[in-house]
């Protein structure tokens, strides 16, 4: 098997965290489109940086069961065209009531089906997934104090380090020696939007704010006569 048990468990844990936040509710009712959106969201949450050796979305340009050209129930591990044993079946019973989280089975990939760099869902796609689900957190009915997500749901210490390392890499690409005294603002915004429920995952919040800090770096470069970075 070309996908390790650790990577399968990682995908399953990620999918179950998204399920706990309400993203699997509609897929569970038998909605095929929701199942495909959920698979794409899981791939992006696992690999927001789009690394070719990690999870990606599974496209089906030559047909087969799909939603808008994407697999209805699976993601793919690694962008190696010679590896045809890298499809992870993420949703059991997709398109039927009672669908469940899978990620225990690896299936062969048709040569014409391809790994694609995962990307964030659109706002409309996120709203489609969450329609009819209970909010994962926020202000409960009755005016009670807001429920705060657990530290583990933020990824724990490693979640914070992941954001910092991604930001540091962008700063170095912009020819800065590392993070500076202003960089904390972007980390603060990223954490706030997740805690406030504006973004449902830390990864989605990071994807929202990364263009902001990149734009700030390019503005700084322009102020000293350097050309902008094409990210």
Per-residue pLDDT at 147: 57
Same domain, 108 and 181: no
141 inside domain: no
pLDDT value of residue 102: 83
Q: Is residue 99 part of a domain?
A: yes
Residues 6+ apart with CB under 8 A from 218: 174, 228, 229
**Considering the domain boundaries, does residue 143 fall inside one?**
no
**What confidence score (pLDDT) does residue 107 get?**
93
My answer on whether 14 and 101 are in the same domain is yes
Q: Is 228 a domain residue?
A: no
pLDDT at 139: 36
Please tell me the predicted confidence (pLDDT) of residue 1: 53
Is 135 among the domain residues? no
The verdict on 191 and 110 lying in the same domain is no
- The reply to whether 173 and 124 lie within a common domain is no
Walk along the chain (231 residues) in steps of 10 and give the mean pLDDT of each run: 86 88 91 95 88 94 86 94 94 91 87 93 88 54 52 81 92 94 88 80 87 90 92 83
Residue reference for tokens 């706990």: 20
Cα 192 from Cα 18, distance rounded (Å)? 19
Does residue 84 belong to any structural domain of this protein? yes
pLDDT value of residue 148: 66
Domain for residue 144, yes or no? no
pTM greater than the 0.85 cutoff:
no
Shared-domain flag, residues 167 and 94: no
33 and 93 assigned to the same domain: yes
pLDDT at 168: 94
For 210, the domain range is: 152-223
């Amino acid at each position: 098997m070309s996908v390790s048990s650790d990577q399968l468990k990682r995908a399953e844990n990620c999918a179950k965290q998204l399920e706990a936040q309400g993203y699997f509710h509609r897929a569970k009712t038998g909605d095929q489109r929701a199942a495909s959106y959920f698979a794409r969201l899981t791939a992006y949450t696992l690999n927001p940086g789009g690394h070719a050796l990690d999870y990606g979305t599974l496209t089906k340009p030559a047909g087969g069961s799909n939603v808008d050209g994407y697999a209805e129930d699976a993601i793919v591990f690694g962008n190696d065209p010679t590896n045809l044993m890298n499809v992870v079946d993420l949703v059991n019973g997709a398109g039927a009531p009672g669908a469940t989280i899978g990620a225990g089975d690896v299936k062969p990939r048709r040569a014409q089906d391809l790994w694609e760099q995962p990307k964030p869902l659109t706002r409309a796609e996120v709203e489609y997934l969450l329609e009819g689900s209970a909010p994962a957190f926020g202000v409960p009915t009755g005016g009670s104090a807001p429920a705060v997500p657990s530290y583990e749901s933020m990824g724990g210490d490693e979640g914070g380090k992941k954001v910092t390392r991604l930001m540091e890499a962008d700063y170095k690409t912009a020819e800065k020696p590392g993070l500076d005294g202003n960089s904390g603002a972007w980390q603060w915004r990223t954490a706030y939007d997740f805690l406030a429920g504006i973004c449902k995952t830390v990864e989605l919040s990071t994807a929202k704010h990364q263009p902001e800090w990149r734009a700030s770096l390019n503005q700084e470069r322009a102020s000293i006569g350097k050309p902008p970075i094409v990210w």
